[in-house]
Chains A and B, each alone.
Chain A
Amino acid sequence: MDFPIFHLDFFGNRFLIAAIASLHVVINHMLAVGAMPLVAFLEYRGIQSGDRRWDDLAYRILFVCFIVTTTLGALTGVGIWLSTSLVNPHAIGSLIRVFFWAWFAEWTVFVTEVVLIVAYTLSWKTAWAKQNKKKHLGLGIALAIASWATMAIIVAVLGFQMDTGVWTVEPGFWTAVLNPIYLPQLMFRTPFALVTAALFALMLTGFYTKHDPEFRGRAVRTISAWALVFTAPWLIGALSYWKAIPARMLENVPTALTSLAFGDFLDPLKFIIAGSVLLVAVFCIWGVTAPRRLPTVLLIIPVLLAIWQLSYFERVREFIRKPDVIEAYMYSNALRPADYPLYAEDGLLKHATYTPVRTVTDENRLVAGREMFRLSCSRCHTTHGLNGVVEKFGTMYGWQEWDPAAVRTYLATMHNMRPFMPPAPGTAEEQSALADYLISLRDDPATLDGAQTSGAPNRIR
């Protein structure tokens, strides 16, 4: 409404955020939050046993983490911000007003984290030579704490988006931070990161210690045991998180897990999820009991499973909070429920900053409908691409003819049938123009350009 609308009409805007965010979570949990405590622990084993091989292994794992986290890890973190501010500037702008000081605190910890990882990595070799390993280990422990703290702060925002708690009644910083989902989600993510990071380290260990089967066995056993220790807290965390999710959102879970079209796969999928968790546990037990018989190539499997689990978990979390982007405050389409009565009286187009038309007339119906689509649908849907509206209506009504009256009725009532959809905003006349535009798309392969290519639409006719 208040911004020129960035839009990707093939991949869709959701995909942009999802791709960047999933990558970031995988790197953050597997190579930073979960990995730093393990690296420090392996360094400690080296100091304690006087065996240089522990120290070398720890450094090689750290070096991979260092290169990836200070490039792709840091940049995808900024990327989440850049992509959300393109796709839903109103939502991220609102979150920043509420959580500014949390983000600010997180940033100071992040600066500390980066300084520590640079210092920890670049002083590793000289620390052994200078015999000040204990001091160096202190850096590692501080780094592990800082890595965890950045996540611990940011998770507050994610919890808030799902359940704003008492904030809508008592707006304030602390009521927002201490939302009902915050601590349960943190309890879940912490061991999740520790377990997945151990699986990643296990894979690296397999490759790095190939030439030394005796040490490989000891290292694999130690790291597998480390992973196994955190499996129980992981399951407890998952349970408490599940309990904290509002009942309304749990109804979205089947759709979130599959998608509307694949609802039938729900039961098999539950087995796949349970199975993948079990498989991870089996690998860890195998690593503890018979480490030398665990083939290196097989160690890739738990890492792939972990990547899948991490990104899949994020998808489910992002989906079940729908239709809201900030629970009870803003819908995913960037409109606030509080403004709906105004839009119903005056029309949505009247209050939009960037639109070539403000009232619906017989001549401009399709242009008005297109702008309605841009303003109220395009944050989640494309025209013909991923999650496209043409495909949705085709699935519902077939490909022969779409009855305008039926589409209008659907728009007016869809939020009752599909609880994850926000209600359609605007006047009946505007929704009718939107219906006409949607129907026109069936035979029109034209795509919808975003502001990044065509500018604000004010001058387009």
Chain B
Amino acid sequence: MESIANWPLPLDIPLPLPADSVLLQALLVFLFLWHILFVNLMVGGSLITMAFEILGRRRPDFDVLARSIAGTITVNKSLAVVMGVGPLLGINVLYTIHFYTANALTGAAWMSLVPLVTLAFLITYAHKYSWDRLAHAKGLHISLGLAGTALFLVIPLIFLTNINLMLFPGRWLDVDGFLSALWLPNVWPRYFHFLTASVAISGLFLLFFFLRSGSDITDKLETMDRAYLRRLFYSIALGASGLQLLFGPLVLISLPAQGMSWYLIGVISLGVVLALTAMTFMWREIVSPKPHPMRRATLVFTLITLTAFAMGYGRHVYRESALQEHRALMAAHTQEVGWQAAAAQWRDATGQTLVRVPLGQKIFEGTCAACHALDKVLVGPSVQEIAGIYGENPGGIVTWTQNPGRKREGFTQMPAFKLGEEKLQAVAGYMIELGVPEELGAPEEAVDEG
């Protein structure tokens, strides 16, 4: 990844945030968890429905279960969409530039979300409402369900790719279209992490759904009783959670170092401990001959909820720190151009003409002149001395400034200035022009100060 100085540096929207940033962030994390819960139930529910409907061809009880689960998907999918609007609003307002940039770079896929989700929903309704009518064309009915499920598997990938791409401004210039963004680090591990989480959460949800006090599902089943259902759904939840022991570490390892911190590792570790505790309880429920009352399931559910909070918060911590530097640069740049625009407006209104200060001079006076004078040592060596050394080699000034070497005896160590190649070249050109006396002639490689 290139140095941050070479990242695209857009201006931010020059209007104030509608509320304190921390409040908006808290809102975003909280609302997103609600959204992802229903998305999990929609995607995981579809996968389980289809698996059960296929198993149902051999063992009819599975078909009864599948049909019942299909009834929950059409409700959960509606909630997934509406609960998505809140966090979408949050991410739009907090990360306007980063999010919309990712959207534009994957624009065709991003826009196709609308027809894809619409189609997926219509197919889901058709699947649910044609269970009886297509009872004698089961292959067709299953194909219909699989088509809807396939769409449900593609849609999250588009969202995830965008959410990932927005974090890496250093990669924005490399991306051309959705497919190229799909291969950025972290996309695929995160995707499988999400899918297995969907199945795990859906397993737990269905445990409650079928074993709740008002459920009459066991009346409709011939060979399955409550104990069987309990073991079945605990096993689904535990199996999927077990897969997270593989995908979880993969997600963490494939995260670019840009946003890593020990704090983040701490938050994630807390989530892992909570999840492992929940998994232990699930295992005991499955192997124990005498199952505990549903209170135990509530405990498992609470632990998983806390895990989700830890992971959701960790995700946010990573995003904030991955973007921190870029946003700081953007804010400074926005303010600077804002002043320039205001000055230009004033000149325009008053008919003043503009005195142009070359870029190199402007940066020199604003950044370097504090330590470097023309003809005497201030903190560092004089401009004339520097020009004498680098007169034929302005690139040397650029390299030195980005990464200053060991200090001379009696001089303070110079800090690195990563202002970007373009600006540093302008400064170098200006310094040589300033420091080399006229009669010696300007060096050949003098840089245009555009």
Contact = CB atoms under 8 A, between A and B. Distances in A.
A110 B89 contact: no
B96 A89 contact: yes
A111 B83 contact: yes
A15 interface: no
B287 to A, nearest CB: 38
A353 B9 contact: yes
A85 B100 contact: yes
Given A70-B78, A74-B82, A344-B348, A20 B104 contact: no
Interface string A58-83: 00000000010011101110110111
A82 B110 CA distance: 8
Given A75-B114, A82-B111, A453-B177, A93 B104 contact: no
Chain A interface size, under 10 / 10 to 19 / 20 to 34 / 35 or more: 35 or more
A90 interface: yes
Interface string B1-22: 0000000111111011111000
B101 A75 contact: no
B15 A97 contact: yes
Given A85-B103, A104-B89, A345-B344, A71 B82 contact: no
B337 to A, nearest CB: 7
Main secondary structure of the interface of A (DSSP, over half): helix
A345 B117 contact: no
Contact of B11 (A1, A5, A20, A173): A1
B108 interface: yes
B200 to A, nearest CB: 25
Contact of A459 (B15, B18, B92, B173): B173
Nearest to B172: A456
Interface string A346-363: 100001011000110000
Given A101-B18, A345-B354, A71 B104 contact: no
Given A90-B13, A173-B18, A3 B82 contact: no
Main secondary structure of the interface of B (DSSP, over half): helix
A232 interface: no
Interface string A1-13: 1111110000000
B79 interface: yes
A166 interface: no
A74 B118 CA distance: 9
A454 B176 contact: yes
B114 A338 contact: no
Interface string A137-155: 0000000000000000000
Contact of A342 (B86, B177, B340): B340
Contacts of B113: 78, 82
Contacts of A86: 100, 103-104, 107, 110-111
Interface string B102-139: 01111110110110011001100100000000000000
B107 A450 contact: yes
A341 B347 contact: yes
A94 interface: yes
Given A72-B118, A96-B93, A100-B93, A351 B173 contact: no
A358 B450 CA distance: 9
A192 B177 CA distance: 41
A98 B15 contact: yes
B81 interface: yes
B370 interface: no
Interface in B73-98: 75, 78-79, 81-86, 88-89, 92-93, 96-97
A353 B13 CA distance: 14
What are the nearest 10 A-B pairs in CB distance?
A452-B107, A455-B176, A2-B10, A341-B348, A100-B18, A89-B100, A79-B114, A341-B344, A342-B344, A71-B121
Interface of B: 8-13, 15-19, 75, 78-79, 81-86, 88-89, 92-93, 96-97, 100-101, 103-108, 110-111, 113-114, 117-118, 121-122, 125, 172-178, 180, 337, 340-341, 344-345, 347-348, 354, 450
12 contacts: A4-B101, A74-B78, A86-B107, A93-B97, A94-B13, A96-B92, A97-B17, A341-B345, A341-B347, A359-B450, A451-B105, A452-B177
